[in-house]
Homo-oligomer: A and B are copies of this chain.
Amino acid sequence: MTAWSLHPRLRDDTHHVVSLALADVLLMDDANYPWLILVPRVAGAVEWVGLDPADAHRLLDEITLASAVLRELVTPDKLNVAALGNVVAQLHVHVVARFEGDAAWPRPVWGAVPARAYDARGLGERLDRLRAAFARHAVAGVSSG
């Protein structure tokens, strides 16, 4: 079994936020939406439902944590949670904060409008706030439930 490593396409499109117990949390480099991607560090994983049950549940718990962080920071109208993987097979789950009137609303975000990269200041601020929020929520306990 080859060791896990992040798919190059995901690495190119994102910035690393934090590593949780199971998954790395990445920020999609698209300022159109607050958009996180969780990638479990499980070599060869492709389907969420292909993980062993404990890891599958843990991934959901980490998605719940990421959702709580997004809700605290940006108060979205809706969360979109999706494991697609048609282009990049490596298992990764999108957690997107959606707003009525955002660039794609009410359509899904994939392919709706071109990505708009963060500028340096916007990126730095977003990463700082995300990391601080994950640290606060992790103290409160990610593994409950």
Instruction: Decide yes or no whether A79 CB sits under 8 A from chain B.
Output: yes
Q: Is A8 located at the chain interface by the 8 A CB criterion?
A: no
Contact B67 A86, beta carbon cutoff 8 Å: no
Q: Which residues of the other chain, B, contact A89 by a CB distance below 8 angstroms?
A: 78
Count of A interface residues, CB-CB < 8 Å: 34
As for how many copies of this chain the complex holds, the number is 2
User: Which residues of A are in contact with B by a Cβ distance under 8 Å?
Assistant: 46-49, 53-54, 56-57, 60-61, 63-64, 67-68, 78-87, 89, 98, 105-108, 110-111, 144-145
- Extra 18 A-B pairs, beta carbons < 8 Å, given A49-B79, A60-B60, A108-B108: A46-B78, A48-B60, A48-B81, A49-B63, A49-B64, A56-B60, A56-B64, A56-B145, A78-B85, A80-B82, A80-B86, A81-B83, A82-B82, A84-B108, A86-B98, A86-B106, A86-B108, A107-B110
